[in-house]
Structure 1
Amino acid sequence: MNSKSALPVLELPPKAARIAPRLSIAGVNHQHSEDPRWQLAQRIAASESIGRSKLLADFLLYIVDRHIRDLADEITEQQIGVLVFGRAEGYDSNEDNIVRSYARNLRKRIDEYFATEGCSEPLLLQIPRGGYTPIFSSAVKSPVETKAEESAISAQRRDAVSIEFIEPQTPATTESPLPSGPAAAHAALHANARSPRISLWILVSLLIGILLGAGVEFLGHARQIASSEDAASHKLWSQIFTADRDTFIVPSDVGLVIMQRLIQRPVPLSKYVNGSYRTTAGIENAVDAAEILKLGGRRFTNVVDLNFVARLAQLREVVPERMKVQYARDMRMEDLRTSNAILIGSEEANPWLELFRPQLYFSFCFDPDPGKPSGFVNLHPRAGENTLYSTAGHEDQTFGIIAFLPNLNNDGHVVIVAGLNTAGTEAAASFLLNSSLMAPTLQRARASNGELQPFELLIKAENVATNASAPSLVLERIGIPQAQ
């Protein structure tokens, strides 16, 4: 058994009961409404960086309000969770980290505000890491900074003057009469003495111009490539994270994997949904049967999935109040009918993948017998392709898949990120989050109406001590397999 996949590093909590009314202070008329700190907070809350998220706006306004009123004892994770996010009184913030998650996002959005529409603000606002009390500071430059900037400008002007001073006039543009006699000889001699310097500066100027032109062209081309790749990536994620429906991120159920390995029996989705897989039927005589079955009820996942979720949360397309991290056992069929979803892990770790098996080109093939290969079966092989992509005989490599499919109602989207092991899942996740690697597929998958067609990728990576290295594309499919 893969040691990394079996490592229980986190037990996800059930949803906290929302019995406390959620506070909204965005429209309240405060006595300090004329305070420049409050006015700045209101501008940030209404900005493009934060305005679309009411929870982020309420979070910011709450902590600024308490700070101005000198109520530092109310700027705590517990109070914010109850009053801003509607958590129950006394909820366990160690299990429910919603405040910390939103705080990270809020810090990022505040930085975006000051870098864009708030770049001329006279005040700056920061929320230091490790706490939630805002800090305000002046954006006015200090005398030292001002003097340094003036010195730099003066130096630039001196350089500009000296270059302009030695720039020669060509004979075609001069209008002064040519001297004759001894004066002409003296002028010619003086001109000959200056000509090497003038020619050198002309050559240097030409070389600088050529280099600058080439540099600008190169940077423009690089920006165009980056912009094209970012646009393709944005198209994908903006269809996964939308303001009109929830997006469920479902990490793998490691407790289920361990249990299946011990009982050597797969758990189909039907038994996973109704909970009947956690009965002793069929393993009554097994040693420690009760303890084995307890694993099926534990909320374990792995570091790879958690890292992937953390990176997804940082995407600019995410709608925070619509993104929900849901344990696989808590999912319902209706969630996959009406919402978007990102399913992480193999069928062994995330039985919900079974629903999308008919739409996949590459099928999981697991065998508990170590002498038999496990891998991805290529259900529709083309010329030159293998029918099985396996780790058998190549323990230093692994495989994963990325699939972009419609949800069960065909009005939303589901992304599957899965591997033969955690290293395979890590390879698929890394590939998916790399806009340069994904751009060619996303461009080919784009339909004439601009929307993305379903696609599926088979990814390969080196497996170094159960960690993926340098993921690469093996096979690509655009569309959904036709029914046979």
Structure 2
Amino acid sequence: MGAYIPVFTVRDVRESETDSQCSPDLAPVISEAPVSARQVHLPQLFHNPKIFIFAFAIALYSVLLVVLTYLFVRSPTAAQNHDRNNILWQTLLSSTRTTYIVPPDAGFNLIEDLTHHPVSLANYIQGNYAQAPLSQFDGHSAEDLRTHEFTDFVDMQILTSLMRLSEYNSQRLLLRFPRDLRLDDLRNSNAVILGSVCSNPWASLADSNTNFHIVCSEDMLSSSIVNRSPLPGEQPIYVSEWNQPTHTTYALIRLVPNLSGDGHLLLLEGLDIAGTQAAAEALLHSAAIDKVLQHARRHDGSLSSFEILLRATSIESNATGAEIIATRIH
């Protein structure tokens, strides 16, 4: 009984030989041979420079993104700064007590400017400013100025920024116009008071317990920051040349106890609208504030009262280049 023995031989094929040079008889065998998708497309990828560069860039970007994310998350400084900012906003916005946001009274400030006479908090609460003669206006316009609740756009931007904070609690935060605020509101509640005493008389509540405070001139033509106890290198008074299109302006950030001592009042005050804007920008976005908050933080995690004096440049009533020039921690 016969048998067949298979014999295998190696065919000599030159390296330069291409598929087009193969024998026509072999073409069907080559085309029908099972080949994976990777074997077909991978050579095409690496032989196309544009596709290769694009793929390499995507891969490099992905690696960098992962590395940077890891470094940021692992960075102790980033975590500490985040914690320090959180303690301020957690204290003011997400505590169990109510927090009032109190914007400036622009109409009241205009009445002061027109009458060239500043009004104290006591007279403001009593509404005496509404009796001031406004001969510059007709009766209807004067009545609007006395009774309507006007504020400025910059402080509404600040309010919007506060509402974007993760600590913002809509159930605990109330917007209250200064004419509607009462002393009892500030006994057991927190408050964020925007604007200086010249446009928001409630800011004067902090003056008796702080080193820095804003004073309006008797004719309402200027205002200044008084430094009760200047340290070496500090000035006793800081004045803004507000009537120049570009000028240096100053601002205060003050955190003080509320009227009962169990809550906090945060005041953002400028010698002009650009100053108030500089105070808010520094508090919300500047890393320089982190050092102050770090020193103000007690061992139990709560915050001591503090004061921050800022200098900025006002360009057409827009603040830029805010910097801290003095601090106090109580």
Q: Which one of 431, 434, 440 corresponds to residue 285 of structure 2?
A: 434
1:384 aligns with 2:236: no
Question: Does the aligned pair in 2 maintain the 1:249–1:325 contact within 8 Å?
Answer: yes
Q: Which one of 71, 74, 85 corresponds to residue 233 of structure 1?
A: 85
1:399 aligns with 2:250: yes
SS across alignment from 2:308:
strand
**Identical columns (%):** 32
Alpha-carbon distance in structure 2 between the residues aligned to 1:432 and 1:424: 12
Residue 322 of structure 2 aligns with which residue?
471
Assess, with a 3 A threshold, how the Cα gap between structure 1 residues 293 and 388 changes in structure 2: closer, same or farther. Answer: farther
Report the residue type matching 1:376 in the other structure.
I
Residue 204 of structure 2 aligns with which residue?
354
Residue 244 of structure 1 aligns with which residue?
96
Residue 258 of structure 1 aligns with which residue?
110
Give the unaligned 5+ runs of structure 2.
1-36, 43-59
Question: Does the aligned pair in 1 maintain the 2:119–2:129 contact within 8 Å?
Answer: yes
Residue 423 of structure 1 aligns with which residue?
274
CA RMSD between the two structures = 2.8
1:457 aligns with 2:281: no
Residue 297 of structure 1 aligns with which residue?
147
Asked which structure has the greater RCO (Cα within 8 Å, sep 6+), the reply is: 2
Give the unaligned 5+ runs of structure 1.
1-150, 159-207, 480-484
Question: Does the aligned pair in 1 maintain the 2:73–2:79 contact within 8 Å?
Answer: no
**Deviation per residue, 1:357-383 (Å, 9 max, x gap):** 11221121222669x863211111011
Residue 323 of structure 1 aligns with which residue?
173
Assess, with a 3 A threshold, how the Cα gap between structure 1 residues 298 and 251 changes in structure 2: closer, same or farther. Answer: same
**What TM-score, normalized by structure 2, do the two folds share?**
0.74
**Deviation per residue, 1:23-57 (Å, 9 max, x gap):** xxxxxxxxxxxxxxxxxxxxxxxxxxxxxxxxxxx
SS across alignment from 1:401:
strand
Alpha-carbon distance in structure 2 between the residues aligned to 1:278 and 1:407: 28
Question: Does the aligned pair in 2 maintain the 1:238–1:317 contact within 8 Å?
Answer: yes
Residue 217 of structure 2 aligns with which residue?
367
Q: CA deviation at 1:289?
A: 7.7
Q: CA deviation at 1:293?
A: 5.6
Question: Does the aligned pair in 2 maintain the 1:404–1:416 contact within 8 Å?
Answer: yes
- Between Structure 1 and Structure 2, whose CA radius of gyration is higher? 2
SS across alignment from 2:124:
helix
**Deviation per residue, 1:267-319 (Å, 9 max, x gap):** 11112112222124xx48x4548544641322111111000000101111111
Name the count of aligned residue pairs. 268
Q: How does 1:99-110 map to 2 (within 5 A)?
A: none
Alpha-carbon distance in structure 2 between the residues aligned to 1:297 and 1:376: 30
SS across alignment from 2:226:
strand
Q: Which has the higher strand share?
A: 2
Alpha-carbon distance in structure 1 between the residues aligned to 2:222 and 2:316: 20
Alpha-carbon distance in structure 2 between the residues aligned to 1:362 and 1:423: 18
Alpha-carbon distance in structure 1 between the residues aligned to 2:138 and 2:212: 34
Report the residue type matching 2:91 in the other structure.
Q
Question: Does the aligned pair in 2 maintain the 1:400–1:459 contact within 8 Å?
Answer: yes
Q: How does 1:84-163 map to 2 (within 5 A)?
A: none
Alpha-carbon distance in structure 2 between the residues aligned to 1:227 and 1:239: 18
1:411 aligns with 2:269: no
SS across alignment from 2:118:
coil
Alpha-carbon distance in structure 1 between the residues aligned to 2:229 and 2:130: 36
Question: Does the aligned pair in 1 maintain the 2:228–2:236 contact within 8 Å?
Answer: yes
**Deviation per residue, 1:443-469 (Å, 9 max, x gap):** 011112221100010111110111001
